[in-house]
Amino acid sequence: MVRSSVGNEASAFEKARIIKILESVGMVLQPLELAQIINNLPKDVVLDREKLARFLLLTAFLDQQAESPSARRTAIRIYDLFGDDLFFKPQQCLIQINRLAALKDEYKISPAIGRVLPRFGWFVLRVGGFLTYEMMLNRSNLSEKLGRCKTPKEAAALLQSNPLVESILREKAVRMYISWVGHPNLGIDVSNGKWDKSFFEMPVDGHVGKIFSRGGLVSAVIHEGKRGSGSRWNVIIASNMRLSIQEVTNQYSDDCIMVDHGAFQIGINCCPDNLKDIACDSCPRASICQIKSKIGCKGYCMLRDFCKRNLTWRAY
Ligand code: SF4
Ligand code: SF4
């Protein structure tokens, strides 16, 4: 692990503009993304805070090292299979875990995991972990437990203090889950308005690290190796950059969750790791882009006028 200068650092004015654009992109796309997860659920689950908090936790468990759309479809199909027993009779579901075989082709995992474990094995371990965690809750109410915490950070720590959750969810996934159930503009608001949106912590994945580095929002990048030491030397170690990313974001925004999501979306859609068809000045994918009309993109990257284009850095 090495720390290097980012290259060109943005001015305070440029940082402020970039972060505001990222925030506005996230404010449009983050609620839509969450709606995609919950819109296909029956109304009684969506309207029941406890069922929804548990369903979203299952989704977060499945999302780890998996293809997100397939993980989200699979979570809904698991609910179709077990109904409310999924939330209130986890032991019964665990005994019948062989029923998951009907869903094994739906769930897609990352190739790296596939090389060490059969896909169905990974799937069963995730769902089994979720059901076991529910059994450990021992009839207590997850949404109330989280909502009683003073801050989202405390709620994340509470969730992670369970060794089972700690073994399944990475810290960034825990922060993402806490934003789903606690951010006042998103799914559930377990704290009943007690948590201000400025209290949250950014999840920060590789795409977010890439946008903050390529954009020149941070002065230094923490990455895998010395320049020229291997093909992956310039891959960002996002978890080690989280604090500097959070710090600069807090200077210019009071809604870091939306900034995080905006950076993720620009990073994955407009600013590819391999630079092929990169959208800085003109986007070759404009005719097929799924987010263009939603965020009012004019056919080139929305950060074009302020980004420092430190193209060395990669997410993965
Ligand atoms: S696409 Fe270009 S302008 Fe947009 S974030 Fe990436 S490097 Fe910056
Ligand atoms: S059209 Fe291109 S530049 Fe615009 S949002 Fe889509 S991927 Fe990004």
Q: How close is the Cα of 273 to the center of ligand 2, in Å? A: 15
Residue identifier of the C-alpha nearest atom 7 of ligand 1:
309
The answer to whether residues 8 and 47 belong to one domain is no
Q: Give the C-alpha separation, 38 to 55, whole Å.
A: 9
Domain count, the chain: 2
Within a domain: 88: yes
Provide the domain limits for residue 178.
Answer: 36-192
Q: State pLDDT tens for residues 168-206.
A: 999 999 999 999 999 999 878 999 999 999 999 999 999
pLDDT digits (tens, 9 = 90+) for 240-294: 999 999 999 999 999 999 999 999 999 999 999 999 999 999 999 999 999 999 9
Q: How many Å lie between the centroid of ligand 2 and the Cα of residue 55? A: 31
Task: Tell whether 206 and 113 lie within a shared domain.
Answer: no
Co-location of 93 and 163 in the same domain: yes
Please report whether residue 99 resides in a domain.
yes
Residue 141 located in a structural domain: yes
The answer to whether the beta carbons of residues 23 and 259 sit under 8 Å apart is: yes
**Domain check: are 41 and 122 in the same one?**
yes
Same domain, 181 and 138: yes
Contact yes or no for 266/291 (Cβ under 8 A): no
In a domain, 313, yes or no: no
Q: Which ligand is nearest to the CA of 286?
A: 2
Angstrom distance (rounded) from CA 214 to CA 310: 4
**In-domain check, residue 48:** yes
**Residue 223: its H or E element:** strand 220-223
117 pLDDT exceeds 80? no
Q: Two tokens at 196? A: 């201000």
pTM equals: 0.94
Best residue among 261, 289, 305 to mutate for probing ligand 2's pocket (most ligand atoms within 8 Å of CB) is: 289
Report if residue 78 sits inside a domain.
yes
Give 102's DSSP letter.
G
Residues 178 and 93 in one domain: yes
Locate tokens 């994918």: which residue?
A: 285
What gap in Å lies between CA 222 and CA 6, rounded to an integer? 9
Torsion 283-287-288-293 (CA) sign: positive
Q: Is the CB of 211 under 6 A from ligand 2?
A: no
Query: Which is nearest to 215 in space by CA: 248, 169, 177?
Result: 248
Q: Is 49 inside any structural domain?
A: yes
